[in-house]
Each structure stands twice: as C-alpha cells, then as structure tokens.
Amino acid sequence: MYKLLSAISFLFIISFAAAQETVDMQMMQKIKDEAKNNSQVAMIAHNLTDVCGPRLTNSPGYNRALDWITEICKQWGLQNAGREAWGEFGKGWQNETGTLALKVPYYQDISAYPVPWCKSTKKTVKSELIMLDDLDSASINKAGASLAGKIVMIKPGSTNIPDAFKAYATRYGDTSLDNIGEKYMVDRKQMESFCPLLKMNITQNYTWKKWVQRV
C-alpha cells in the first residue's frame, strides 16, 4: 500500500510539473493595457441604458438595443452578429405616461410605476382612496363592497432605517495588510498532507498571496 501511494505521489508530481506552462508576459501586458486604456465598457453601458432605454422583452427599447449592439459587433469584425429566433413571446409593451397624485386635502405627487404589460386607461381616473392592511383574501373580504370603484393602496410597513455612525466597510491599509498574517482557506499543513510537492521548495516559483488583496 505504501509503495502504491508513493507511486501515485510521484506521478502526481510529474503531471503537476508537466502541467506548468510558460506565461507570455508580453501578451498579458497587452491584455492589461487594452483593458485599462481601450475599454469599451462605459460606452456600451451608456448606449444600452441611457440611449436605448429600458429593454423589456419585445419593447421598443429592447429592439433598439438589439439593433445597436448588432451594428457595433459588425464594426468590430463579427459579421455573423444578428438576431436569432428563440421562440414565441406575447405582445410588446412600453410605458408612455403614468401619473398618480392626491388631490385632497392638497395636491401631492405619488411615486408609482405601471406594472409591465398592464392595460392603459382610456382617460384620467379619479376616485376615492381606500387603504388596506394587506392585499390578501382576509383584507379584501373585510372591506367587501366598499372597494367597488375605489383606488386601493396597501399600507406601507416600517421604513425606518437606523442611522449608521460608523462605515459599513473600511479598506485595509498597507500596514494592516502586512501585519494581518496569512489568510488561507486551507493552511499549509493541510495542503502538505495531500500535496507532497509542497514539501519541496515550491515557494521559489510561486508566491503565496493573501486572500485580502491591496486595493
């Protein structure tokens, strides 16, 4: 059994060493330079959000986004870019106008948004307001016929947010990182128990880094 384990360990060491590859640092630098100096992330995000607008499935904004990203991909040399059928999906929908306000005892706007794919009203709807504790069967049955023709709203829960006098998160300084010690999910002794290669002078080729990186 010991000889078998030794043979397996030896094969593991050989395969591990063979798996090492030479890293093309020049290419790595080119990739980093491209990300830092030629990134298109901000441009893409701006066009898809601010220019194309909301992209609800089958909405005009969704179609604008598809047309725009298809054209950009073709400019980048991806000539096969284009729409692909993925199945049937109901009607398109777009929010054109939605306003909710109180009229009594004084005018007050209410922040509200239509539910996607809801029907529109033919004209402005005016009615009395009823507040329910919850939109469950018990609350509806309790209100009964009084709901007919009324605008129904649900009483909000507590929205009190405690004041935070301390920051929720803080950055580690260089001094703190230097003194924090090694932070590994598996310590070195545990690693050595199933990886004999670590008992060799592997640290000459690999640098063990803290999980907390400098930012």
Q: In whole angstroms, give the CA distance from residue 162 to residue 9.
A: 57
Residue 55: closest CA among 111, 87, 93: 93
Which residue reads 């109180």 in tokens?
102
Phi then psi for 43, rounded to 5 degrees?
Answer: -65, -45
- Average pLDDT over the chain reads 79
For 156-166, what is the mean pLDDT?
Answer: 76
Q: What is the pLDDT of residue 212?
A: 38
Q: What is the pLDDT of residue 195?
A: 65
Q: In whole angstroms, give the CA distance from residue 54 to residue 112.
A: 17
For 143-150, what is the mean pLDDT?
Answer: 88
For 128-142, what is the mean pLDDT?
Answer: 86
Residues 135/118, Cβ–Cβ less than 8 Å? no
Which pTM value belongs to this model? 0.52
